Structure 1
Amino acid sequence: MNYPKLNEYRMLNQHAKKGQILFVGSSLMEGFPIYEMQLTLNFGLDRVIYNRGIGGTTTSDLLQSMDACIFELEPSKLFINIGSNDIAAAGNDGYSKDALLKNYNDILDQIKERLPQCEVFVMAYYPINAQADFGIDQAEKTAMFATRTNANILEANAAIEQLAKQHSFSFINVNEGLTDKDGNLKPEFTVEGIHLWPNAYTVILNNLRKYL
């Protein structure tokens, strides 16, 4: 867990409006430049969008930081993208879909209990590209994509979609336009096959706007 970032969010929350729109998750959410985009694009929104993503976060980490990342803000809409680091076998125990789903279920249970009026959107995981050459050492690349594969991501997406339905939350897949004909994340959208450039978030935001 990135404790300096968590402490920063606790301080920022003291100045944030309640009842706004909230993005939460790991680095793939932290890197979403929604602040800049909401300033320059005509959203027509009457609410502010806050981002409380933290790089490196797993579902276990979020379970320990939900007050600072979610509940202190009392959002009216919540967009959550968490678990990609679980799929990447973060930690010593490797990747377990069952463990991911158990933690995700606990997260959604707490949200439903503490924010009963909040509109919750469980976001599909983004695809990856393990094929293109991004100048990464082969050993590092092998480790990066050992379990973070598009097959595992698709399987996890199907599972969290069912989980969202069980909680009467919305599951949304905003990945249209991100992939090539083989289902890989387009090389021009990604730093190293996982993390996204702003042009990718522009595509995602266009897909996401109807839910805002």
Structure 2
Amino acid sequence: MKNFSGMNKLCKKGQTVFFGSTTLSQMDLGDLMGNSTNSHIYNRSKDGLTIDQAQKIIGECACELQPSRLLINIGEEDIESADFKVDSFISKYEWLLYQLHTHCELCTMYIISVMSDNPKAVKLNRELAKLAKDTGCVFINVAHNTPWSFISSVKPYIRSFPISFAEAMQYAG
């Protein structure tokens, strides 16, 4: 996390931040930049990140950057644990969101569903969608996507300018 703190000093505040575990840490977020946004995108994701670890590093990974958009994808490691309980996970996630809402003013937060074949993922994603609604976040369902289509599913949420009709048709259906 020392690397993130050092890099954050060079970053522009009020931009888009991705914060999550393995899926996000391995994404080539440069592909998202393209023509989708005229702002910076910072990836503060970490391989193997669990909800407990996320709570400890959220300050360095997101709060310091004061993002205007924060896309969060946590849970893929947690769900594989033998003692995973959806209710406990959601409680910890809610606390994480509370910390973010408290420290990141004027930030729109997006909860990205967990991409997992684990049978518990359906219930978890249902609860994440409910949590997003209850906490003023936006839920992005990418549960059935491949890593490649994940990028196309997220692109509309990081736009910083209006979408044209032709571009809207690309995302339809």
The TM-score bracket by the shorter chain reads 0.7 to 0.9
Q: What's the CA shift for 1:202? A: 3.1
TM-score, normalised via structure 2 length: 0.85
TM-score, normalised via structure 1 length:
0.70
1:23 maps to 18
Which 5+ residue runs of structure 2 have no aligned equivalent? 159-173
**Deviation readout 1:145-197 (Å, 9 max, x if unpaired):** xxxx1x20111000111111111111111345x3xxxxxxxxxxxxxxxxxxx
Counting only pairs closer than 5 Å after superposition, residues 1-212 of structure 1 correspond to structure 2 as: 6-35=1-30, 37-38=31-32, 41-43=34-36, 45-89=37-81, 94-128=83-117, 149=118, 151-175=119-143, 178=145, 200-212=146-158
Q: Secondary structure at the match of 2:67?
A: coil
Which runs of no fewer than 5 residues in structure 1 stay unpaired? 1-5, 129-148, 179-199
Considering only CA atoms, is the larger Rg found in Structure 1 or Structure 2? 1
Number of residue pairs aligned between Structure 1 and Structure 2: 158
> 1:136 matched to which residue of 2?
none
Deviation at 1:109, TM superposition (A): 0.7
- What is the deviation of 1:201? 3.4
Q: How far did 1:49 drift?
A: 0.7
Distance in 2 (CA, whole Å) between partners of 1:172 and 1:50 is: 19
Contact 1:33 1:201 in 2 (8 A): no
The 8 Å contact of residues 120 and 169 in structure 1, kept in 2 or not, is answered as yes
Structure 2 Cα separation of the partners of residues 127 and 61 of structure 1: 20
| Structure 2 contact 29–43 (Cα < 8 Å) conserved | yes
Matched residue of 1:84: which SS? coil
CA distance in 2, matches of 1:85, 1:127: 9
CA distance in 1, matches of 2:131, 2:4: 28
CA distance in 1, matches of 2:95, 2:32: 31
Cα deviation, residue 67, structure 1: 1.0
Q: Which whole-Å CA distance do the structure 2 matches of 1:11 and 1:116 have between them?
A: 22
Q: How many percent identity over aligned positions?
A: 27
Tell whether the 8 Å contact from 2:32 to 2:151 is kept in structure 1 after alignment. no
Paired with 1:209 and 1:201, the residues of 2 have a C-alpha distance of 13
Runs (4+) off by over 3 Å:
none
